Structure 1
Amino acid sequence: MARINVSQLKQACVDRGWLDRWLDDPATPVPMPMTPAGGIPVNGRLFHQLVAGLVQKLCVPDASAPLLALRSREQIWALLWDELAAAKVQALVRSQSAEAALHLAEALKAWCQRLAELRANCPNFKSWRSALLTHEFDLKRVAIQVSDGGVVEVSGRPDSVQVDPVHGIVVVDYKLSRGSNGTLDLLQLAIYARMLRLAKPGLNFAGLLEYYEPGLHLVPKTEAQLNAIFEHEVQPVLDRIAGHEKLMSKLKSVQVGHEAVRLSWQPKAEPDLGRDIEKAYNSFKVPVQVMGRVEAPQLVRYLIRPGLGISFAKLRSNAVNLKIQLGLHAEPLVMPGSGHVIFDVVKEKPDTVWWQDEVQRAELTAHASPLALALGVDINNRLILADLCDSNTAHALIGGSSGSGKSELLKSLVATLVKRNRPETLQLTLIDPKLLTFGGIVENAYLTGPILRDIEESLACLHLAVEDMERRYEILLAENHTRLGDRIAQGKTDLPFRVIIFDEFADLINSGREEKKEFERLTKRLSAKGRAAGVHLIIATQRPDKDVVTGQLKANLPMKICLRVTNAVNSQILLDEPGAEHLLGRGDFLSQTGSTPVRGQSLFIPQKEFLELFADKI
């Protein structure tokens, strides 16, 4: 049975790359939030410890009359300061700064004010348990059911469950900062609300985020809102975790003798540069330790631990120096990892990863979704999977300059869709202005029509796709379905999945202002509503500059795949960070399906093999 804790589960919901690593190794750490450079440390753990200590004193059975008589913020703060906080806050002045100590003290005072308000609004107050039902208690192995009838056990420790005068019984999460990803806070609240509902049948739980910054700011969420977040964001992740557990159990039951598993790509012997990397960095007064080495199809990855006091920026800024010192043919790609720094040395020529071999791997063949895609192979020889039926990867934006391997990637994605579907369940609309990617495909049962080339045809196609999407919604509503996949699973194939693949959409964007506005309007509508109706977009360009890849377009297409691009600006536009300008080309890419880009090598399918997939479906 699969098991996960709340911190891991919320990270898995926002970072599918992290989820892939965790499924492979459950010891994979959850990234810790960092205080911004120059920011005041918020000491969230100490805040929780002090609050929990006071609640424990207040909520003891047969509490003394003075404890029950506490009413005002000043009275509660005096008790907290004298009994618990004074020594800790004063120690912060010495170990961190007066600003950090003041920030913690003000946050604690705001919490005391909140406690006083709960006390005042409790009409039948007999003990502090009247307002604070529970505080920092363990929810162990709560069984949450998944779609196939199995369960995933989730464990965690919510901060508090309170009786709020406005919102009723609420699960509360204390936060001392907003962080860079507020979605994580809402996910945590939704997960705890579901766990409490399962652990305490008959009770309903709303949610409350209490941000102490250091003044209190409340963010309430109704039970219905938390349920919607859980169903749309958390449940699909639990389904995937349970499916992976079932797959691993099946694989373990298959006897394969003592023969080692053969890689579909055959690595060439590459020299170990670990010691040389350490010496080179040390020569620039940047002490590091190489912790490990992994060989991938297109590169050799070194895992580096910086010396004490050495920032990541120092390692990245010396990348050009290391290229020269080590005699590398290309600048190494230096990226932050979980507990280490990644240092990628690219091969002069990547090893070929054959599509035919990879699509037969169990990770893909056992995947339940008909729209599961194999993007490529990651650094650890795992398939990088994406599911168009998943809201986080429902539509894709792909960028890559000439020679990056963009066309071969698109062909491998199309090949995978065709292999996993019949024409009755999948229809493809291919837009290829230069006929360089899909030019060899003739009229075919998988296609909605001829391959489109000009701008007018492309816009007309998108208009028709929007009309088709709205028609599908009407049918789904009339038949009480919430998504097309459920309808197809019941054997109704008159409405197949529809995937629109647009190679080099920049031609349309650059044709005129009105055309650009109309293209963005149509893609926005399709991306916002298309997933449930089974309509999906995969669009690609050689020129991911700010005029082509606008902010609106990026926001509407959640999955990003960036192959080699011309410069760091293009990488920043597509992935929100530089790095893709240093990729090797020939299918070397960074995919972003969560918060952290994952490096991979795309699959190669020869043209003859690609066309043969369509040959008997004319």
Structure 2
Amino acid sequence: MYKVNVTDLRICQKCPRLFAYHLQGKTGIWRIGLSGSGNFPGRLFHDKIANVFHEQMASKKITPMKNEMLAAVHSCSDDQSLEKSLSEILERYLFVQLMEKQGIHLKSFQIESLLRGFSLWRKHVVQLIKTAIQHIKNEPSMQIWTQIFLPPEKLLSATYGINSNVELKVNGKYDALMVDIEKKEIVITEFKGLNFGNEDDDFLQLVLYCWLIKESTGLSPRGVLFYLEEEQPAVYYQAKEITDAMNHLLAPLFKEAFLILSAYEKKEQLFVERSQNSDLCQKCPFNHSCDTDFHQKNQITERKKIAKKRASKIKSTNSQKAKEHENDEYLANQEAENAMKNVIETFQALKLPVKASGYIAGPRFIRLKITPQVKHGVIPKKIMSHAETLQLQLELQTAPLIKTQAGYVSIDFPRKISIPLTLKDVWEKGQSSRPVSNVTFPIGMSIEGQIFWANLAEPGMTSILVGGTAGSGKSVFLRSVILGLALNASPENVKLVLIDPKRVSFTDLKKLPHLLCPVLMDQKSALEMLSSIVDEMESRYRILEKACCEDITIYNKSHTTCMAHQVVIIDEYADLIIDKKTRENLEQLIIRLAQKGRAAGIHIILATQRPDVKIVTPIIKANLQLKIALKVTTKTNSMIILDQPGAEYLIGRGDMIIGGSVPFQRLQGAFSGKEDINLIFLK
């Protein structure tokens, strides 16, 4: 039979190599990686405050402290006076007496830290007593305390069967044990003279003690981790959470500990995996020697695998571009890992514990995935409120975009060295996901590397609102939309109407064969064309009605004469409606096209660099289904486009967020050049 204690298993969970060093007699192993100021006298608190209190309360012996506490419960008429009385009793019999005996031997910062921890613990105890107040009042006997408090630091043992022939014996002493009379549950409390930072290891330790209790009594306790250096020290775990953790965590841990124990006792060579916690490795004094001590053979094998993989990759591509991509991927991963470490440390310093849940390094952005520790009171809103702090820590030009995603919180920020994204790159990469439609185009690439396509034939995308301030890349994005539509379909299937009040956005697109008319640059010509398109829409509806077809897609399949889709693209809507006389007419025409255009194959893409309520009126906004926000100046601008903040954190040059009829998502738009225009004429 092999024997371990809870501390051994905690070390093994933290890092199997540290457990092996521990077996070899290395001292202080359990301290490696712990987080805290080092000021709190934890042993003194355990032995002279918590242990003394729980021993007295669990004992049948009558003591002055127990007498006074029972009297306070029966005499105090309200919660406030009860809390005050119990707090004074605990301070007098525990903290004051400890200071009279030990205070002279303590330094001032230790006394200060101990007093602060004692005050937090005292408040916790008073609240626990208050939950059982009715039972205490109904039982005037002093024995009521023994029904609530159980003896502390009791040694428990249990065995786990590794296989039919081998058992692992586990033992350990918990800190404190109580009974929740109201819920009829056992509650175990573990005191930590630290702050947050090792909660995974602490939780495992709690689970191990709960397993020992369950194996000894058959009862499944719930637990509390009490961090004596935190302002909100108590972290609560329900019995179900602990039971689930027992089922998932303990068996692999027991088996790993057994393998290391077995190899050590048999004096066999140990090949132990390195910890996955890079922060722990950096703090570990054995970091530079452990690969040689425990993993040399595996390291050599792994190096051979990596070298073979790299050689194979270079050989298969045989191009400089592949080498550059590999180097870029390496640099991006390094940047992401360093940023993740910085973010985790920043939130720890802010007393907001979070877990690293991975990252994605895209061509222009890095997305860090973190999981807030809700059990510690850390919610996504608290994370989002520190965007400017992260901007400072990560040395960014603008604050990162922080959003709640499915199962994690994302933190997006630009890479130091980004890769240009061309329309050709996006077009080629997205072919496998390209919709079958005459009016589809790639909007951009997600951080994950996926291409998002817009399909104007879809009911949720038939018309689009685009907003972005000067320099956001709005006009460049519209050019990629125009060229994407032209690359996707022939001039017989798609006709484009370009309205450019600025007169410079589409100058090199004047010869596109897809244009229904020359580029329009003034209010009068735009008004006349929109009015003509509305008439065309009504005419098409009469044709569809006569042919008994729901839309032009169905009509074109059954008729030799096809109707072409018509897409109206307005670059700067605000400049188009300066004249109050024509504004109302323009708005009415745009609204009619947006409301009824889809079935008739008529679509509108409206862009503005002034996304305010005077320009993008509620009725205009309501009828443009897909919303695309490039960088805007204020949170209010973002709200007008997307109905939520975020676009104010974008960095420009095609960085965008899409929303409205589709899930909120960040994309990078593509740059289009002469090469893309030439492809259209070569089709």
Bucket of the pairwise TM-score, normalised by the shorter protein: 0.5 to 0.7
1:492 aligns with 2:560: yes
User: Are residues 1:303 and 2:369 paired?
Assistant: yes
Q: CA deviation at 1:363?
A: 4.0
C-alpha distance in structure 2 between counterparts of 1:263 and 1:365, whole Å: 24
Identical-pair percentage: 33
Q: Is the 8 A contact 1:265 1:353 kept in 2?
A: no
Structure 2, unpaired ranges of 5+: 1-130, 132-312
CA distance in 1, matches of 2:564, 2:590: 20
1:524 pairs with 2:591: yes
Question: What's the offset of the Cα at 1:544?
Answer: 0.9
1:311-326 pair list within 5 angstroms: 311-326=379-394
| Higher helix residue share | 2
Compared with structure 1, are the counterparts of its residues 362 and 287 closer, same or farther at alpha carbon in structure 2 (3 Å cutoff)? closer
Name the counterpart of 2:14.
none
2:621 equivalent among 554, 578, 584:
554
Structure 2 counterpart of 1:471, one-letter code: S
Equivalent in 261, 265, 274 of residue 340 of structure 2: 274
Residues 362 and 566 from structure 1, CA distance in 2 versus in 1: closer, same or farther, beyond 3 angstroms?
closer
SS in 1 for 2:651: coil
SS at match of 1:391: coil
Once the two structures are superposed, residues 403-426 of structure 1 have per-residue CA deviations (whole angstroms, 9 ceiling, x without a partner) of: 111111111111111111111111
Q: CA deviation at 1:523?
A: 1.4
The letter of the residue matching 1:425 is N
Kept in 1, the 8 Å contact 2:628–2:657? The answer is: yes
Q: Is 1:441 the counterpart of 2:509 in the alignment?
A: yes
Tell whether 2:372 aligns with 1:285.
no
RCO (CA 8 Å, sep 6+): is it higher in 1 or 2? 1
Task: Tell whether 2:622 aligns with 1:542.
Answer: no
Which residue in 2 is equivalent to 1:191? none
Alpha-carbon distance between aligned partners in 2 of 1:424 and 1:264, rounded to the nearest angstrom: 43
List per-residue Cα deviations over 1:103-137 (Å, max 9, x = no partner).
xxxxxxxxxxxxxxxxxxxxxxxxxxxxxxxxxxx
Separation in structure 1 between the aligned mates of residue 503 and residue 641 of structure 2, nearest angstrom:
24
2:630 is aligned with 1:567:
no
Equivalent residue letter for 1:285? K
- Within-5 A mapping of 1:499-518: 499-512=567-580, 514-518=581-585
Instruction: Read off the aligned partner of 1:277 and give its amino acid letter.
Output: V
Return closer, same or farther for 1:554/1:349 CA change in 2, 3 Å cut-off: farther
Aligned equivalent of 2:458: 390
Structure 1: which 5+ residue stretches go unaligned?
1-93, 95-255
User: Aligned ranges for residues 37-48 of structure 1 at < 5 Å?
Assistant: none
Compared CA separation, residues 547 and 598, structure 1 to 2 (3 A): same
Q: Is the 8 A contact 1:425 1:488 kept in 2?
A: no
Whose Rg is larger? Answer: 2
User: Counterpart in 1 of 2:447?
Assistant: 379
2-structure distance, mates of 1:558, 1:263 = 40
Sort the Cα spacing of 1:497 and 1:259 in 2 relative to 1 into closer, same or farther, 3 A: farther
The answer to whether the aligner puts 1:580 opposite 2:580 as a matched pair is no
Q: Provide the C-alpha distance between the structure 2 equivalents of 1:611 and 1:345, rounded to a whole number of angstroms.
A: 32
* Number of equivalent positions: 361
Q: What is the one-letter code of the residue matched to 1:345?
A: F
Aligned to 2:411, the other structure's residue is in SS state strand
Letter in 2 for 1:501: I
Instruction: Compute the displacement of 1:443 (Å).
Output: 4.5
- For 1:535 and 1:259, locate their aligned partners in 2 and report how far apart those are by CA, in whole Å: 47
- What are the within-5 Å matches in structure 2 for residues 76-115 of structure 1? none
Question: What residue is the counterpart of 2:518 in the other structure?
Answer: 450
For residues 473 and 264 of structure 1, what CA distance do their matches in structure 2 show? 56
Q: Are the equivalent residues in 1 in contact too, given 2:433–2:451 (CA < 8 A)? A: no
Equivalent runs, 1:153-552 vs 2, <5 Å: 266=325, 267=328, 269-270=331-332, 271=335, 272=337, 273-307=339-373, 308=375, 309-348=377-416, 350-361=418-429, 363=431, 367-490=435-558, 492-512=560-580, 514-552=581-619
Deviations along 1:578-597, one digit per CA (max 9) or x if unpaired, are 11111111111001153631
Following the alignment from structure 2 to structure 1, what is the Cα–Cα distance between the partners of residues 423 and 671? 5
2: CA distance, partners of 1:406 / 1:578: 19
Inter-partner Cα distance in structure 1 for 2:561 and 2:367? 46
1:423/1:326 CA distance change after superposition, 3 Å: closer
Cα 1:595–1:485 change in 2 (3 A) is: closer
* Residue 173 of structure 1: aligned partner: none
* Contact 2:464/2:604 (8 A) holds in 1: yes
Structure 2 SS opposite 1:440: helix
- Calculate the TM-score normalised by the size of structure 2: 0.50
Partners in 1 of 2:323 and 2:450 — Cα distance? 11
1:297 positional shift: 2.0
Asked whether the equivalents of residues 415 and 613 of structure 1 are also in contact (C-alpha less than 8 Å), the reply is: no
1:503 partner letter = D
Mapped partners of 2:558, 2:370: distance in 1? 51
Distance (whole Å) between structure 2 residues aligned to residue 265 and residue 578 of structure 1: 37
How far off is 1:361 after superposition? 3.5
TM superposition shift of 1:505: 0.8
Q: Distance in 1 between matches of 2:385 and 2:635?
A: 14
User: Does the C-alpha gap of structure 1 residues 589 and 284 become closer, same or farther in structure 2, counting only changes over 3 Å?
Assistant: same
SS of alignment partner, residue 507 of structure 2: coil
Q: Is the 8 A contact 1:265 1:352 kept in 2?
A: no
Structure 1 position 609, deviation (Å): 2.2
Say if 2:574 and 2:615, in contact at 8 Å, map to a contact too: yes
Q: Deviations over 1:76-116 (max 9, x none)?
A: xxxxxxxxxxxxxxxxxx9xxxxxxxxxxxxxxxxxxxxxx
RMSD (CA atoms) = 2.7
Letter in structure 1 aligned against 2:516: T
Whether contact under 8 Å (2:462, 2:598) holds in the other structure is yes
CA positional deviation for 1:492: 3.4
Aligned to 2:307: none
Q: 1:433: how far off?
A: 1.2
Question: Which residue number in structure 1 is paired with residue 99 of structure 2?
Answer: none
1:178-234, CA deviations, whole angstroms, 9 ceiling, x for partnerless residues? xxxxxxxxxxxxxxxxxxxxxxxxxxxxxxxxxxxxxxxxxxxxxxxxxxxxxxxxx
> Would the alpha carbon gap of residues 427 and 554 (structure 1) be closer, same or farther in structure 2, given more than 3 Å must change?
same
* Counterpart residue identity of residue 640, structure 2: I
